[in-house]
Every structure is written in structure tokens, then in C-alpha cells.
Amino acid sequence: MPNTRMSGPSRREALLGAAAVSAVRAVAAPDALPTVKLGPHTVSRLIVGGNPVSGNSHTSDGLGREMRDYFTAENVKKMLRNCEQAGINTWQSRGDKHIQRLLTEYRGDGGRIQWIAQTASELADIPRHIRDLASMKPVGIYHHGSQTDKFWAAGKIEQAREMCKVMRDAGVQVGLGTHIPEVIDYVESKAWDVDFYMTCLYNISRTKEEQEKLAGRKVDDQLFWHPDREKMLARVRQTTKPCLIFKVYGASRNCGSPEKMLDALRLAAKYAKPQDAIVIGMFPKHSEQVNQNCRLVMQALGESAAT
């Protein structure tokens, strides 16, 4: 999406780096990240997300290009190694051929990080694609949230259910992604055979007209509407199934200060069930983010558990 607000590192990125460093210094290093079960698999409650690796910034085209330039194979592997050393044992990312190659190379180098794969909706034969992903032994596969939402808007949501059946037949944990709270309501009411949800805290699947009506102004890019968060988190709390909560930072929009970052995590932790996890994409070009996020997530989860 066109956006001319950035040239080089954005103000938001700079704030992210400075804020995270300040916040981390105030938090004692955790002994180990807590874990949850996803079927037979043990998954860290902080999962590293894959959007930055694929250049999906949800902020601007300029930042997306910078992410793609930074994430060479070596830098992807470096980040994954740092994640494993910090206790993050799972990576969530797209399941396209590029990511499959990177993961294969990382495993060949001895990396052991687990993988949760998102379907690549641009491919023509999604059932075959799902079977290919399953052959790489992921923890689970989930139906791409943006495609789920397109099916929902078109009145074709049952097509997503059919893809979930293909995942079940492939022998992996079955997930469904969405940005729309009402999709969770529908799937729960119909008792779909899924094992987990990928739940986005912002409904970025609204049409441009819907976004501008809601915001009361012209919207040049995606609207990250803060009231969306508790609507989705209410669904996270009500379902018994594990939820992987993502875009907690609003694609870095909630990173203006240490307090804002922790407040965003505290909100997610307030609603998260003990079996839920948080997914955070990381872009450690300008600052160290892996250990920073581990500490911040540990603080938010610890505070929630104490209340």
C-alpha cells in the first residue's frame, strides 16, 4: 500500500528501539519462558512471528522493503538462533516456498525451532499446498486469516472449513486465522473441528469505506482501531481452544513508549487463558528485540497471574 511518510528508519521504529531498551532494563531477566501444550507439542508462550521476514510491515511499503533487504537467509537464521537461546521454541510464518527453504536450511544447520505454518493463499491448489506443508512436520497449519475473512465477507466461509478438513487428514494440528471476532462466534457455534485459533487483535479486514466511516476521517492505510482489541480478546477468553494472539503491538503502533508496550501486553495477558500464547514479529535491525520481548511478555504474564 502506498505510503510516503517514511524514508529510512521511521520515527515509530526509533521509538520502538529506545522504548524497548528502557523497558527491558527495568525488568529482571526471566529464568525461562512458560510453555503451553498444542496437541502433543510444547510451545513457548511467546512465539516469534513471520511477517517481518516476509516484508509484511502493515505500516508502509518503505518499511516492508527495508525488512526484505535486511532478512537475508543468514539474518533470518541468526534471529531464529537467538530466539531458541532465549527460550522461544516456535516460529509462526507463511508457508510459501521461500520460507520453506529458509526453514530447511536452518534445520540443516542444526536449528530445532518448531514451526506453525500459515497457508499461502495465493497458490492455486491449497489442498496440495497443505499436504506439502504437512510433510515438513510443523506443529500445526492454520488457514490464512485474510483469506478466512474474504470467505466470510463473500458468504463462503464453509470453504475455510473444507481446508481445515484437509489439514486434519494430513495429520497436523488444525488452526483457523481471522481478524473478525464474529468469525470465531460462527465457528464455535458450528463446532468446527479445529485445534487452535490465530486471533488478531485488530480487524484489518474492513473495507476502506468501513474504515473511514469508523474513523470519521480519510484513511490512507490500514486502520488499527483500538476498540477492536477487547472484542477479539472476549472471544479468546470464551473459547476453550488455545488461541495464538497476534498484532498485540498493532504492527508497532503501540510502541511509542515502554508504558504503551507493556500496556498492550498487559491487556492481552488479562484476557489470555493459561493455554494461550502471544505471537510477536521481530525486526532486530535497529535494536535487540528477542530478549527484550521475552522480558516484556514475562512481566505482563507474571503480573496477570498475580492478580
CATH code for position 165: 3.20.20.70
pLDDT value of residue 16:
44
Q: Are 230 and 203 in contact (CB under 8 A)?
A: no
User: What total of structural domains would you count in the chain?
Assistant: 1
- Residue 74 CB burial class (10 angstroms; 0-12, 13-18, ≥19): exposed
Q: Is residue 139 part of a domain?
A: yes
Q: Is residue 2 part of a domain?
A: no
pLDDT value of residue 134:
98
Dihedral angle sign, alpha carbons of residues 257, 261, 266, 268: positive
Cα 9 versus chain centre, distance? 22
Q: Is residue 3 part of a domain?
A: no
Q: Is residue 122 part of a domain?
A: yes
Give pLDDT < 70 ranges for the chain. Answer: 1-31
Dihedral angle sign, alpha carbons of residues 141, 145, 147, 148: positive
pLDDT value of residue 31:
61
Residue 140 in grid coordinates: 500445526
Q: What is the pTM of this model?
A: 0.88
Q: Is residue 196 part of a domain?
A: yes
Dihedral angle sign, alpha carbons of residues 57, 61, 63, 66: positive
Q: Is residue 198 part of a domain?
A: yes
Q: Which residues pair with 47 in a beta bridge?
A: 279
pLDDT value of residue 26:
38
Question: What dihedral do alpha carbons 284, 288, 290, 296 form, nearest 10°?
Answer: -120
Range of the domain at 191: 15-306
Instruction: Say how many CA atoms lie within 13 Å of 110 toward its Cβ.
Output: 2
